[in-house]
Amino acid sequence: GKRAEGPRPSPRGAWEPVQLVENFCTDRDDEIRATDAPERFYDWQLADKSGAAMDMDEDGGGAGAVDAPLTEEEEEEAMWIMGRVPEIAAEFFAGPNDAAADAGGASGAAAAEVGLRREDGEDDATYVERRQRAVVESIVRALRCMKKDKLEPGFIRRYRKDVVNSPAVRSNLYNVMDEDAEWDRLGAARLKVEGVLDAFASDARSEEAARKGKDSEKAAEETLARLKEDMARAQEKLDETLKEEERINVELEGLKDVGEEDKKDDDDDDDDELFGDDDDDDDDEKKQKKAQKSNLQSHLTTVKELLNVRAESVAQLTNSLKEAEERAASADAAAADEAAAAAEASVALESSRKMCRAKLWNMADYSVYLSGLTDVRHVSDVRGYLGLLKEGNDAVRAKGDPGGAAAAAERKKRSRRFDRDYYRTCVSEGLRAVSYRFLLAPFRVGIKLEDNLTLSNGFQYDKTLPGDDGGNGQDGSGGGGEYETGPRKWVSPVIPESDPTEFASDLVGSGELVLLSTTNQSAAGGNEENDAAMTDREMQDPLRGCRYVAAMELAYEPRVRRHLRSIYRARAVLSTRPTKRGSDNIDAFHEHFGLHLLRDKPIKEHFPMEEQEREERRSQGLSPDEQRELDEEVRRRERDSCVQYLNLLKAEAGGDVRVHAPLPFRGPPDERWYDRDDDFWKSRDGQNLSPLLSELERVYLPPDGDADAWNDERKKVLRMALTQFLLPQFESETRRDLRDAAVKVGSESAAESLRVMAMEGPYRPSHLLGENRFVVPTRDLPIVGVCVATDSKEATFLAAVTNAGEMGDHLAIPSGTRVDGDKMREKVVAFLMQNRPAAVVVGTGGGLESRTVARKLGDLLTQATERWNNRYIQGQDEDDDDFESRLAEFRRMYPDDGDNDDDEESQWKCNVDLVDDNVPQLFGRSIRGKKEFPDAMVNLKVAVSVARHAKDPLGELSYTYSVASDAGVFGTEMLFLNVHPLQQLLPKTLLLRKYERVLCDAVAEVGVDVNAACHHDHLHGLLSFVPGLGPRKANSLRQSLVRIGSVVSSRKDLLQKRLVGPVVYNNAVAFLRVRETEQLSGQYLHPLDDTRLHPDVYHRQNWAVKIAIDALELGEGGGGDKDDLAMTALRDVMEDSHNEVKRLFDATKAEWESAYGPTFNVGAWDPKVNVPADSWQDKVEELDLDTFAEMIEQRGEGRWLSHLLMIKWEFRLPFEDPRKPMEPLGGDKLFRLLTGETDSSLRCGREVTGKVVRNGDFGSRIKLEGNIPGFVPLRNLADEHVESAEEVVSVGQVITCVITEVKKDHMCVDLSLKKEDMRKLPSAWERPSSLPPLDGHFDAGAARRIEAARLKEREERLEALELTLGATRIRDGDGGGAGQDGGKKKRTGRLTRRACAHPAFRNAKHEEVDGELRDGGDTMVGEALVRPSSKIADSLALHWMVRPGAVKVFEVTEEDKDTDASIGNKLKIKNEVYGSIDEILGRFIAPMNDRVEEVTHHRKFLDKLEDDLDDVLRRQKKATPSGIFYNLCWNEQYPGYLSLRFIMSNTPRNHIVSITPEGYGWGKKTFSSMDRLLNEFKKNPRGVSSGGGGGASQSQSRGASSSSVALSSRMQQSMSSSRMMDNTGGGGGSRPSRWGAKSGAAAAASTGSSLGGGSSSHYGGTSIGTASAASTMTSVPTSVGGASSGSGGGGRGNRWGAPAARGGESGGWNNGQRQPPPPSMPPPPARYGQAPPSGPPPSFGGGGGGQGQGQGQGQQGGYGQQQRPPPPPPPGYPYQQPPPPPGAPQYPPRVQ
């Protein structure tokens, strides 16, 4: 059958991930393209919270859901956003007169910007209320437009003015978006805290249920016991009742006859009554018996009834007891479970007592408090407090149940937070319950503190909270009842019967208080002496744990933190002090001067004004202007302070300044406060804590007083809470907030700088400067860009760019060739005439040479324009034939470009100008440049970009942003532009987001030609910033047009051809221009498609056409096609309005010149600003658009006034360019661009070094660094009068002088050599006005004291130098017989000091310099210090800190020294010569720092130890056995070297890679980049050839293997100091061998070979004989086992058994052939294996030469000869199988 076909693999699988990102082919890109929504909204993820009914009406005018009533949540959020955006708040709180003035002063186009117009007769209060309501509604509607309608801010700002009618809201839409995201974060934080509160309530309920379960169990036991007792009592009572019944019956039996006698007595009574006879005594006795019997009978009845009841009770009790006993019997089977449950219930009760819930939190109170919080930090405070309580509660549960889940969770938590171990221990031991017997509950302290600080009448003790009804609330313990009722809840408990000592002793005795060892934090805040003195007292204090728990919980209580934080912010100050490095470096010319000695600057100046302070200022009765000025002053101060703190962060990161944010210190001010050590600044003892302590004591101490001992305990708690917890956290928070505020202001400043760059208009040639840009717009002009080479090996390029921005032609001026030289003059003139540009722009990247080239090109351009413009003029000596011949040749050489060549009046006008080439220089070196011009030179690409930037700066900036990084992040190239001086200190993500928003606004203002952007790469970036589009959607639009092979001829085509979706179309269409092109020539184009009008007003609604027809009074009738009528009306009305603009310009110019002469500023005239509304006389001005807008609104079609006003202005100025033309460079900016110097780097008083180039009659010409020309007048050459400059200086001499004046217009500086100027203090020179003014809190006196001390030290050094120089001259002059030639005696001793004032020079020892670098930490990485060498005279040691803790040392040889104490004029490192220490730092250290930066960011670099990296490689090898895996890390043994570690079989191996200024060294080769080195490594992972130093053999005998391990440590010690200095030695002396072995003579060169006699062992062997070669100590091994074999007289056999070499021959792999020595390198570390060489296969066995000291008599073995196993490797060296013989098939594994 037919084979089933599986799914085809995606073609994307064959692409690299970077290619997928670059071409927008990832799954995320597909999803973005498929979604009909603005691309930027995909990442912003704006969620809709505005309700269900949010559908926009089809008219698009803002009616419908956007105008729906505001919900309560929306209004709350809008008010919150208003308070956080200063501009919106200023509009909200503005007075009625401010708004009225703004509305009344608006005219023309500005009228559309008015937010809310005041109605006639409306009072101030009503108007202000209505305007404030409008601001809130604008915020809500803007969010609705973005979330529901998916409209971008750029669209809303321009096309939803009638809906979002607040100008402040429209101007801050991005801020509204950011604050909306912050509001969501606040809501999410609230939800998290509410979850924690619910968890607390659930825990409380669980413990209550457990307590009730314990009670029920106890009740069952009590019931059983009670039943038994009741049964016994009931039986006893029943028995008593039976006995009573028996007794009564017995008595009644004795009175049985009384009844019979009664009957007889009745008869007798009758007789007696009849006869009158009665016996009273007998009668009384009978009555008594009768009564007695009757009573007994009655009692018997009662007893019987009682007997029945008691018998029944006994029966019931018997049954109940039986049932209870049965239940108890059945419970015996589950006795263990019940016991456990009983234990848990018991633990729960004990835990509840320790947790003290009622004293720490109140569910209802915190819920209400949480709902009113509007700051994420305050919500986080609540969460932190509850989290702390939860940790303590968990510790209590874990203590009661060590094996339970709570204990396991506690163990995990303890592993995370060691700083709370002591707290958890104290709480688990019940110290929390003890502490609140005499301390007030934290949450009640917070409530009292809040009421005292926020309420006018303060806290009232009759305040009640939910649960304060007298019960025990949520506290299961029920403790504390003596103070938890009524107002006493708000007072700290008082214990009058005992003092703290007795109280603690009683609790310790009862076991309720446990003594715990103290924590390190308990003594924090004091110095070491106080700590030592207080240790014993603290250990003896049993209440210290209670105070610690209470202090920590008080410090975390949210209300306490909130209000104490506010007090701290109002009181804290910012102080800075210089470090040791800063004291040495910072002077009046340093960039950080003024920042290093700030003293007690209030921190609140860095933050927006508090609401309370703002309200106080509003209530001062200031006028609107005064209030506006005050607000502006506060905002300016805030911005300046934030920028200042950003500079402080830079200074602190550089190690020059330390920043502190303490409270003010007590006591008198100290003049030398900046010399205090770190302990003083960290200590809280000297700070003024009274503002915080007084507020706390006011609410914490009992108001009626208490014993001093108890109050002292409470004060200890307060002080501990402040010093150990609150103040350190407040200072850390403040530093973080200062940084965030500074970053925010810095990013806004950077964005504003980019906005200025983006809104710079196209370059306007000089011949157009006499015309106004609104009358004669700047068209697309051909321009020639020039890039002047800065490298002597590169060429200067001229590139001609066409109208569309494409490169047409170019001309290269080779290096060393003058532009106006004989060879190039005619070429340049011909090039200019062939291209005939409108302007020639020269980039400033060439420095001062650019200025020279521009001047020369100006002369050549004058010649070219004269030739062209005079081409039709016949010469006097030229006949007609010659003239026609010349003209024909002229036309052939310079063909017509489409202009009327026969028009003799046409003139070619052109000028040369300098332009900033910051952006073009980036293009020339970017990926974009390589893709667009793959074969072009860098300078040629820069020249093209210079011309393009002059044509459209915004297009080039957008082009720069449009490239994605490997991670898919756009705009990373923008980070390399010099946009803002502090941009490197700002977060890259934030900076790119700001940049993107700026470009979005700029593109929305300018608009984009959709066809040009889709057909030209350099303009395509503009499409990415069109509202609704983005990089992916713009690329999709471009590809769609290419696919259908057409252009956009109408805006409707975008939707009809489905190039974009409806939502994207609605956002983007009004910003896309459809202009006439070659492909559209002859086609019908709608005139409004090249305007800012949205198609809604001329396609969807015909209001634009109606306005045009009404303006021309054409009426609705008229025959013919309506479309033709509409188009005719539109063109006619637009032409009429354009003519009106011309008329107004001419009228304004004539009126001005008639009054003030020919001084009218043509370029500054703007018809939107400078023309009153009543001056317009065009047709459209006659229409009442306000009434028309009201009619539309009354018909229910929405509000369209802003659109109607836009129609009027687009008729007048269709899509006018809002950008002002590019300003010509000059003044400070031109000086900075050409010289690279600013007022901070080049100013009066600064010492500079230069070379004398010419001496003249009036002084000396000097060339400073950067080729800046300088001039020393004759009067400033010396203090005394001199006749000529040659008396002081000579040509070619290098001098140091002082700047006295900077002449920026002349691009030069005036200098002075006078001692008066040289000795003048830096602070005495005038500070340039362009620099930021010194802060008012800058301690100028301290700066002067530091400066005086530095000057004194300098004078002492100079004095010592003079003494040294004098002594040297005396020594040199003495002893005429020192030499036969009378020359200077050569110095042979060592000099440990130099007279050098360079900031990088130290007259110190090796350990001191190393210590200074290492102590500096990360701030000193990349720095280098120089010191005199202690080993060799006339040499220096250069210490370079490669990375933290790793310092590499180089030897610097001095030559051409003026004196013994001076630094040599020539400094040599190896074979490279440098002229100064600065040159060493610039040409030697700086390139190596770049190499370190490159390699640490390389994808194969891992910052791991070598052993750890080996483990990683083993794991990778185990996962993929067929691959070779490799990575880079730092070499641990040799500082400054890299370890290239790889694994081929099972054992990781390595190569050593060195870092040099030229690149990375591996073997003998140097690679310019790490990628090139790795590519070479992939070709041969085992190592480079012997020529490259990677595969040389090792001459070590088998017998010497045991000594190699013993001597390896000695070898490592000899190299551990990393002092890589070249030591030269002669042949006579005996010196230690570089390999760690004892040598009878100097060791051989870097190969370890002895050239004279004897043999050398690489690993511990001895060298015998003498050597004549030099021994070097400059390098490390370049590969594993890369040492070469020994060579000498009697060489030992190598370890593989090869024959030893005879005298002078090499053994081993060299086969007796002499090999050039590989680069100098020490042996590999002992643990590294020996890689087999890459030469011939080894011979197992060999001859006698392989066994000891043979003389080469052994016979070389090979494969098939004497096959024996290889010898065992030395201890610690892993054995590696040798490679197979030649010819054997090899399949090397793939390198990963």
Decide: helix, strand or coil at residue 1566: strand
Contact at 8 Å (CB) between 139 and 79?
Answer: no
pLDDT in the model for residue 792: 80
- In the predicted model, is pLDDT for residue 1747 greater than 90? no
Minimum mean pLDDT range among 260-274, 337-351, 428-442, 722-736 = 260-274
- In tens, the pLDDT along 772-805 reads 888 888 888 899 999 999 888 889 999 999 888 8
pLDDT in the model for residue 949: 92
pLDDT in the model for residue 14: 65
Confidence of residue 288 (pLDDT cuts 50, 70, 90): low
Burial label, 633 (beta-carbon count in 10 A; 0-12, 13-18, 19+)? exposed
- In tens, the pLDDT along 577-594 reads 998 888 888 888 888 888
pLDDT in the model for residue 275: 36
- In the predicted model, is pLDDT for residue 1712 greater than 60? no
Contact at 8 Å (CB) between 1767 and 1742?
Answer: no
pLDDT in the model for residue 270: 43
pLDDT in the model for residue 1245: 86
User: Alpha-carbon distance 519 to 421, whole Å?
Assistant: 9
Confidence of residue 1471 (pLDDT cuts 50, 70, 90): confident
User: Alpha-carbon distance 462 to 483, whole Å?
Assistant: 14
pLDDT in the model for residue 1645: 33
The percent of residues in the chain predicted with pLDDT above 90, rounded, is 14
pLDDT in the model for residue 212: 59
User: Alpha-carbon distance 1524 to 1334, whole Å?
Assistant: 60
Confidence of residue 555 (pLDDT cuts 50, 70, 90): very high
Span 150-157, average pLDDT: 90
- In the predicted model, is pLDDT for residue 490 greater than 80? yes
Specify the DSSP element, H or E, that contains 988: helix 988-1006
Confidence of residue 1680 (pLDDT cuts 50, 70, 90): very low
Cβ atoms within 10 Å of 1220's Cβ, excluding its own: 14
Model pTM score: 0.71
Encoded amino acid at 435, one letter: S
Confidence of residue 1461 (pLDDT cuts 50, 70, 90): confident
Question: What average pLDDT does the chain have?
Answer: 75
Pull the structure tokens for residue 719: 């002080």
- DSSP state at residue 1099: T
Cβ-Cβ contacts under 8 Å for 1201 (sequence gap 6 or more): 112, 162, 1185, 1186, 1189
pLDDT in the model for residue 754: 92
User: Alpha-carbon distance 832 to 911, whole Å?
Assistant: 11
pLDDT in the model for residue 1071: 92
- In tens, the pLDDT along 1110-1131 reads 888 876 655 556 778 888 888 8
| Cα first-last separation, the chain | 41
Contact at 8 Å (CB) between 1270 and 1261?
Answer: yes
pLDDT in the model for residue 265: 53
Confidence of residue 1439 (pLDDT cuts 50, 70, 90): very high
Cross-strand partners of 1565: 1562
The angle formed by the CA atoms of residues 1080, 1086 and 1092, to the nearest 5 degrees, is 110
Cross-strand partners of 578: 657
Residue with tokens 């010419």: 1254
Cβ atoms within 10 Å of 195's Cβ, excluding its own: 12
- In tens, the pLDDT along 245-270 reads 888 888 777 776 665 555 455 544 44
Confidence of residue 544 (pLDDT cuts 50, 70, 90): confident
Confidence of residue 957 (pLDDT cuts 50, 70, 90): very high
User: Alpha-carbon distance 106 to 817, whole Å?
Assistant: 59
- In this structure, the strands spanning 1790-1791 and 1523-1530 are parallel
pLDDT in the model for residue 799: 93
User: Alpha-carbon distance 1327 to 647, whole Å?
Assistant: 19
User: Alpha-carbon distance 1680 to 57, whole Å?
Assistant: 76
- In tens, the pLDDT along 7-55 reads 555 566 666 676 777 777 878 888 888 888 888 887 665 444 444 333 3
pLDDT in the model for residue 801: 92
Question: Minimal CA–CA distance to 113: which of 165, 73, 163, 70?
Answer: 165
Number of residues in the chain = 1792
User: Alpha-carbon distance 866 to 880, whole Å?
Assistant: 21
pLDDT in the model for residue 619: 63
- In tens, the pLDDT along 302-313 reads 777 777 777 877
Specify the DSSP element, H or E, that contains 1264: strand 1259-1264
Cβ atoms within 10 Å of 460's Cβ, excluding its own: 11
pLDDT in the model for residue 1441: 92
Cβ-Cβ contacts under 8 Å for 968 (sequence gap 6 or more): 21, 26
pLDDT in the model for residue 1648: 36
